[in-house]
Chain A
Amino acid sequence: MLNRRLRRFSFSTELGTDPWIADNVIQPVEVQREISLARAALEKCGFDLQIRSISGFSAGALQDLNVVDLNDPTKRCGNAAMTPTQEESDLVSIVRSSETTDLNVYYVRKFRVGAVSPPPAKNAAETITADCFAGVMDSAKSGVIIDATAALESPKYRDSVALLIHEIGHALLHRPTWGFDEHNDQSNAPYAGSNIMNFTVSRHTIDFDASQCGNIELDLTPFRGDP
């Protein structure tokens, strides 16, 4: 699990992050790699990403997490039927940062939908925030969740290093003012090339563009769910 922390300074904005890992499903050094990449990307937007700590926790049966089925046509961001599964709600409640403005990020062993694993949509990560999931309170129920098995899967392993910053991108971008799927640019064309929000994440997707950086800073608060 990662936590998020936000502080405003006179000349820069600092984001604090603390990884939390369920039952040793991924090594801290791997999480550190993802955070280093995220830090470099956010630096270009004027944010300083800091790790609070890397911690483990016991997820029990939630290691194999029942996630929202993103091939269910109603499970789209902004749709009222887009609600976290009970297991997702349980997971983000086990351990959280004491700072309600922190972004909590959880690594679990694998995702499933019902008895189906990997999920039909083959999603390897998800970001639960109020601007996507109806009824979610960012201060208490938000979080990034990553399927560590998918992230570490060979031969895609080297490409998954950008997974965390891609999800942080979802957390930082403000969907209502962005206006489109966050994988698309302001003309609603899918991001390609090195953009972090390119839907096919790879080790080459390491850049935010100016409009993305601007959207993050729109209300001078990176995390829109800040209480």
Chain B
Amino acid sequence: MTIQETENQIIDEFAAVDDWLDKYDLILDMGKSLPPIDPKYKTDQYIISGCQSKVWLYAEYREGKVYFTADSDAIITKGIVSMLVSVLSGQTPDAIQSADLNFIDRIGLKEHLSPTRSNGLASMVKQMKLYAIVFKMKG
């Protein structure tokens, strides 16, 4: 699936949900379905720390595509991390770099990507795009 197709799928899931409480229940479920990161990557080396919730991110480059695994110590963050991974993992560096990820805004969770210190998500997105640039350069 393309980035846009995955994003649309997520947007559709959230469109069915009006109440913010149900929205967060959905995010929690997504967090539970995030494939676990290999424990050897849950170290300081792979941390993208925000002020409050930690995010670990590992990336690999195989056959022209970038694959991500990730985790977070906060469940809501884990849920959004799960969405970002499902959208960006298995895509080409070019696709990742140019993704605008406005689906987060469209599902009403813009505050979670705001550039405050309160979470590592904004930094995570930046890091994912950086990985894409580096992998592309290295070839």
**Genuine A/B complex:** no
Interface residues of B (CB under 8 A from A): none
